[in-house]
């Protein structure tokens, strides 16, 4: 984990650091790069976010640097927080004056005073985020590591600089950040630090839902999200922020017949998805695909444990979950609902005798999300039996081929019936009414069921025949 001084200096070469160094010296300000950018140098992780701390007014330094950078730099000042941000090319550089903080019991908003670099490092959340590199010319590239953060990185350890109970009580969001870093980096949380999270878990309730979901999404997007979710569960934070997920825990046996623990199954599905895609909303679909199983769990003397309609009930649960967690109530939520609703359907298509109609309907309902749906279904295979897993995956290959063949033949993905409701009203002289909707649906169903082909002439002839049965006569006979 060690980097020689000259090599570390090279990590801070380039125009932006030259100007920061030059300007800080001109203003007679101590200036340091600190936090995640420095940490990620040692972890060999790319980073575009640079935190700069000065012993003095960070806003003034940022303003002076922006002038030197010219028109390509954009300055934002946040006077309330005493911070400023420069956006320059693909970089975001945050400036703040060194400070010390104190907290009141009922708030994570600190009382801030000017401080030294040491004060600023003391207030950092973890030792690996307290590393600082001097940018002033005389000491350029000098590393300051007062809490042995490099050693903790070598030992793959998350640890607070000061007493973890104070650190987490002051700012409870740091508990989720510890778990997020553990999940992202594959580090272990040091034992005293982990125990302090458990002791202070209820403090998470003073944190806004927006800040909590931001950290939770970062955990979900980590390489192996189950690490973070298991730690959230063990520490007792998960039941506070996401009780519906915890409700999946437990496996019950009756008459020698048991069912799997759907909590750990869900985490396995989430990890499987994470190997295939970084799509946050498909990962949310993995988390929520079985969310209604506790509500639908029943014992049937013939069938054993059943969870009938858990996909449809799960779809209905999602808006309340998204609303409470402050997740977007827009097309992203609707996408997750669609995935949850349809996640059982491809399994039915494995049967060799399945009709083309069933395949067309799935293509129509899934639309452009059909590939994501298949990815979710494949991730849902969590058997410990390798042969069973191979068999299921082979079956889904067959389903994918069926979907491809039907799509090429019938072109039904996202299709709209060749005759819309407006034209139906013109043909029969109708105003908007139930009959228009029924006739339009009849055309759609006939195409999906393979009764007619997906073209205007076939749709028109079907429409006229259907209308005749309910006593409607066209007043417009010329087509189109």
> What one-character-per-residue DSSP string does 400-417 give?
HHHHHHHHHHH--TT---
Confidence (pLDDT) at 353: 66
Burial 270-304 (b: 16+ CB within 10 A, else e): bbbbbeeeebebbbbbbbbbbbbbbebeeeeeeee
Confidence (pLDDT) at 24: 96
Confidence (pLDDT) at 351: 62
Reported as type and span, the H/E element at residue 159 is: none
State the DSSP code for 4. Answer: -
Confidence (pLDDT) at 368: 87
Please list the pLDDT of the chain residue by residue as tens digits (480 residues). Answer: 678 878 899 999 889 999 999 999 999 999 999 999 999 999 999 899 999 999 988 999 999 999 999 989 999 999 888 899 999 999 999 999 988 766 566 655 656 667 889 988 988 999 999 999 999 999 999 999 999 999 999 999 999 999 999 999 989 999 999 999 999 999 999 999 999 999 999 999 999 999 999 999 999 999 999 999 999 999 999 999 999 999 999 888 887 787 889 999 999 999 999 999 999 999 999 999 999 999 999 988 888 888 899 999 999 999 999 999 999 999 999 999 999 999 998 887 776 567 778 888 888 889 889 999 999 999 999 888 888 888 888 888 888 888 888 887 766 666 778 888 888 888 888 888 888 888 988 888 888 888 888 888 888 889 888 888 888 888 866 666
Per domain, the residue ranges of the chain are 5-153, 421-469
Residues 62 and 75: their CA atoms lie apart, in Å, by 8
E strand intervals along 145-297: 157-158, 188-189, 253-254, 257-258
Reported as type and span, the H/E element at residue 384 is: none
Six-digit token string for 194: 């982990």
Contact 252, 305 (CB under 8 A): yes
Neighbouring residues of 248: CB distance < 8 A, sequence distance ≥ 6: 261, 262, 263, 265, 266, 290, 291, 293, 294
Six-digit token string for 2: 């060690």
Architecture in CATH of 5-153: 2-Layer Sandwich (3.30)
Neighbouring residues of 125: CB distance < 8 A, sequence distance ≥ 6: 160, 167, 171, 174, 177, 178
Confidence (pLDDT) at 476: 66
pTM, two decimals, is 0.85
């Amino acid at each position: 984990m060690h980097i020689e001084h000259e090599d570390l200096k090279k990590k801070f070469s380039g125009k932006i650091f030259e100007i920061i160094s030059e300007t800080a010296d001109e203003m007679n300000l101590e200036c340091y790069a600190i936090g995640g950018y420095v940490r990620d140098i040692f972890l060999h992780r790319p980073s575009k976010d640079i935190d700069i701390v000065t012993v003095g007014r960070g806003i003034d330094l940022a303003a002076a640097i922006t002038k030197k950078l010219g028109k390509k730099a954009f300055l934002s000042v946040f006077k309330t927080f005493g911070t400023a941000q420069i956006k320059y090319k693909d970089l975001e550089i945050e400036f703040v004056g060194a400070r010390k903080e104190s907290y009141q019991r009922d708030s994570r908003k600190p009382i801030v005073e000017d401080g030294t670099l040491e004060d600023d490092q003391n207030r950092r959340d973890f030792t690996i985020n307290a590393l600082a590199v001097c940018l002033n010319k005389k000491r350029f590239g000098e590393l300051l590591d007062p809490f042995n953060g490099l050693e903790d990185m070598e030992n793959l350890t998350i640890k607070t600089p000061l007493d973890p109970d104070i650190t987490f009580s002051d700012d409870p969001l740091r508990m989720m950040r510890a778990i997020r870093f553990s999940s992202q980096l594959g580090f272990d949380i040091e034992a005293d630090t982990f125990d302090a999270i458990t002791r202070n878990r209820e403090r998470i309730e003073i944190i806004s839902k927006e800040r909590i979901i931001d950290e939770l999404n970062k955990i979900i997007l980590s390489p192996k999200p189950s690490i973070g979710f298991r730690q959230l569960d063990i520490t007792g934070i998960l039941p506070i922020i996401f009780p519906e997920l915890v409700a999946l825990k437990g496996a019950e046996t009756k008459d020698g017949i048991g069912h799997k623990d759907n909590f750990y199954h869900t985490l396995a599905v989430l990890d499987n998805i994470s190997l295939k895609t970084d799509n946050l909303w498909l990962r949310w679909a993995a988390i929520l695909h079985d969310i209604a199983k506790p509500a639908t769990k029943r014992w049937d003397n013939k069938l054993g444990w059943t969870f009938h309609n858990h996909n449809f009930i799960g779809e209905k649960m999602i808006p309340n979950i998204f609303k409470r967690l402050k997740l977007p109530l827009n097309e992203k939520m609707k996408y997750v609902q669609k995935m949850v609703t349809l996640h059982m359907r491809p399994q039915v298509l494995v049967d060799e005798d399945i009709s083309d109609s069933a395949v067309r309907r799935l293509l129509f309902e899934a639309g452009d999300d059909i590939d994501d749906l298949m990815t979710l279904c494949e991730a849902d295979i969590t058997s410990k039996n390798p042969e069973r897993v191979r068999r299921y995956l082979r079956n889904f290959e067959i389903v994918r081929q069926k979907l491809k063949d039907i799509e090429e033949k019938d072109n039904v993905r996202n299709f709209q019936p060749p005759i819309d409701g407006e034209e139906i009203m013109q043909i029969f002289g109708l105003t908007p009414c139930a009959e228009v909707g029924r006739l339009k649906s009849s055309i759609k169903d006939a195409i999906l069921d393979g009764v007619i082909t997906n073209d205007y002439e076939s749709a028109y002839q079907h429409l006229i025949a259907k209308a005749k049965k309910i006593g409607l006569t066209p007043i417009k006979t010329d087509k189109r």
